[in-house]
């Protein structure tokens, strides 16, 4: 008599060990990597803010003081001390001696120097009252306000912006004691030992054009400031 053979029972699926489920992003969720990349892109698009100079934040109007030549910095320092000692900070906001960087060429060498834009003048930002006028006007070495009579006249915004923009330029300008019509001696380059006459001066590039006589004809030659010496 044949006995029915029992087939082994399959293991219950519920008892089999299962691996932990791994969540799969469905596209609607934002991962930390996505956020980091997004922030990086945003940071790239941001233009770094350049801090504004302190004098651009002063709330008063700009006035021009006339001083004895050579005393501009001394006047500015003295006036700042008077503002503090007399508690005038709410009426006189700041003092400025406009300066810019220039390149001078002396003895064949270049050097960057800080030069006053308007020798003999100082800018002051203030609200004019009887008290503030008296404090400024009686600062040592100040000869007066620029204006009609004793009434100070403020500088126009267009003019003051031009001055402040000029002060903010970091690239120095060339400065040399040459002008159109000056006779110069060329001491370097292919035209060395020639004499010529300056026809153009380009202080922005540090270049000049010199008319040199070659074969009886005046030929314009562009040279560096360093290549010539005033005769």
- Domain spans of the chain, in order of start: 54-175, 183-230
Question: In the predicted model, is pLDDT for residue 230 greater than 90?
Answer: no
Maximum Cα interatomic distance, the chain, rounded to a whole number of Å: 140
Question: Comparing 165 with 6, which gets the higher pLDDT?
Answer: 165
Residue 185's φ and ψ, nearest 5 degrees, are -110, 125
pLDDT of residue 121: 94
> Going by CATH, does the domain composed of 54-175 fall within 3.10.450.710?
no
In this predicted structure, what is the pLDDT of residue 49?
A: 47
> pLDDT band at 47, cuts 50/70/90?
very low
Contacts 24+ apart (CB under 8 A), 148-154: 152/63, 152/128, 153/63, 154/61, 154/62, 154/63
- Rounded Cα distance between 95 and 85, Å, is 15
What CATH code would you report for 183-230?
2.30.30.30
Lowest-confidence range among 6-10, 140-144, 175-179?
6-10
Cα–Cα distance list, 198 to 78, 201, 222 (Å): 44, 8, 10
pLDDT at 48 over 50: no
pLDDT tens digits along 69-84: 899 999 999 999 999 9
**Distance (Å, whole) CA 66 – CA 139:** 11
In which band, very low, low, confident or very high, does the pLDDT at 214 lie, cut at 50, 70 and 90? confident
Residue 209's pLDDT is 93
For residue 169, the SS3 value is coil
């Amino acid at each position: 008599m044949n006995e029915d053979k029992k087939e082994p029972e399959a293991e219950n699926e519920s008892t089999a060990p299962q691996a932990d489920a791994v969540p799969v992003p469905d596209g609607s969720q934002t991962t930390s990597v996505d956020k980091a990349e997004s922030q990086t892109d945003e940071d790239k698009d941001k233009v770094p803010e350049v801090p504004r100079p302190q004098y651009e934040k002063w709330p008063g109007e700009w006035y021009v003081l006339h001083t004895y030549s050579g005393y501009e910095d001394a006047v500015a320092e003295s006036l700042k001390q008077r503002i503090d000692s007399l508690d005038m900070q709410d009426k006189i906001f700041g003092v400025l001696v406009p300066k810019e960087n220039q390149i001078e060429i002396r003895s064949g060498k270049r050097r960057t120097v800080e030069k006053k834009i308007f020798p003999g003048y100082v800018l002051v930002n203030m609200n004019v009252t009887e008290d503030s006028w008296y404090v400024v006007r009686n600062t040592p070495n100040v000869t007066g306000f620029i204006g009609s009579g004793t009434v100070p006249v403020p500088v126009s915004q267009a003019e003051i912006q031009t001055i402040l923009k000029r002060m903010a330029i970091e690239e120095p300008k060339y400065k040399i004691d040459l002008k159109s019509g000056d006779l110069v001696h060329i001491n370097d380059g292919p035209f060395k030992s020639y004499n010529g006459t300056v026809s153009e001066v380009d202080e922005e590039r540090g270049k000049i054009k010199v008319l040199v006589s070659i074969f009886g004809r005046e030929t314009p030659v562009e040279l560096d400031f360093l290549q010539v010496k005033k005769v």
